[in-house]
Amino acid sequence: MKSVKSCFKKAQIGMIEMIMVMIVVVVIIVIGMVFYFKFSGSSMEKTQERISEDKAAVIISSVAQLPEIECSHLKGRGAKGCVDTLKLLVLSMKDKEGNPDFVEHRRHYSDLFGYMVISVEQLHPQTSGKECDISIFGLPDYPEAPPIGCGNWTIYNNPKKGAGSVFRTMPVALYYPTNRAYTLGQLKVTIY
């Protein structure tokens, strides 16, 4: 009888050992999966960030070449990077709520751009930094020199609240068509 009891004890000890080994193996597998998914997730975030940066670069290049803002007097001859300030003024006025063209303007450009803010800032000569509109810009009595009273045009303003963003800038030449003057500016795009 002793041998049967000792066989049961040995069998019990063997079962306990096997259960312990299985628990240790499961814990090791779970720890491995946690580390794998943690590093895989951070890798995906980096890839997503890189894709967003690339998308921002493509969009800022596309925006700079929009016929709605591009210098038309050059007729394709070196017009890249040249922005007509009167066209900017018209687009920035259409993007203001209360303007009769606001809804149509927003619908057209939201299909094209989605959630982003597109603006142009004059860098040299320096300005007060005010948003340009008809009263500040001085239309129809357009000044002989580029206006000093304003230097910012927001041509599309559709931010997404609570979302991360990617910001890009690109240098542009700002063209003032009535006096054929150029100044230095930058195109700014914030993508949400």
**pLDDT tens digits, 85-97:** 888 888 888 877 7
15 within a domain of the structure (yes/no): no
pLDDT for position 2: 60
pLDDT number for residue 179: 77
Does residue 17 lie within any of the structural domains? no
- Which amino acid is it at 81? G
CA 26/CA 13 separation, integer angstroms: 20
Q: Are the C-beta atoms of 131 and 152 separated by less than 8 Å?
A: yes
- Tell me, yes or no, whether 6 lies in a domain: no
> Tell me, what's the pLDDT at 78?
56
Residues in the chain with pLDDT < 50?
A: 141-144
pLDDT reported for residue 185: 93
Residue 28 confidence (pLDDT): 96
Task: Say how far apart CA 112 and CA 180 lie, in whole Å.
Answer: 31
For 90, the domain range is 56-191
Within-domain flag for 3: no
List, as own/partner pairs, every contact residues 129-138 make where C-beta atoms lie below 8 angstroms and the sequence separation is at least 24, other chains included: 131/92, 132/85, 132/88, 132/89, 132/92, 133/89, 133/92, 133/93, 134/89, 134/93, 137/89
- Looking at the structure of the chain, the number of domains it has is 1
* Residues 60 and 168: beta-carbon distance below 8 Å: yes
Q: Do the domain assignments include residue 34?
A: no
Q: Does 112 reside within a domain?
A: yes
The stretches of 65-101 forming alpha helices (DSSP H) are: 85-94
Q: What is the pLDDT of residue 187?
A: 94
Q: State both tokens at 70.
A: 């591009």
The answer to whether position 43 is within a domain reads no
What pLDDT does residue 120 have? 93
- Judge whether 21 lies within some domain: no
Contact between 90 and 155 (Cβ < 8 Å): no
> What is the structure's pLDDT at 121?
93
Q: What is the pLDDT of residue 29?
A: 95
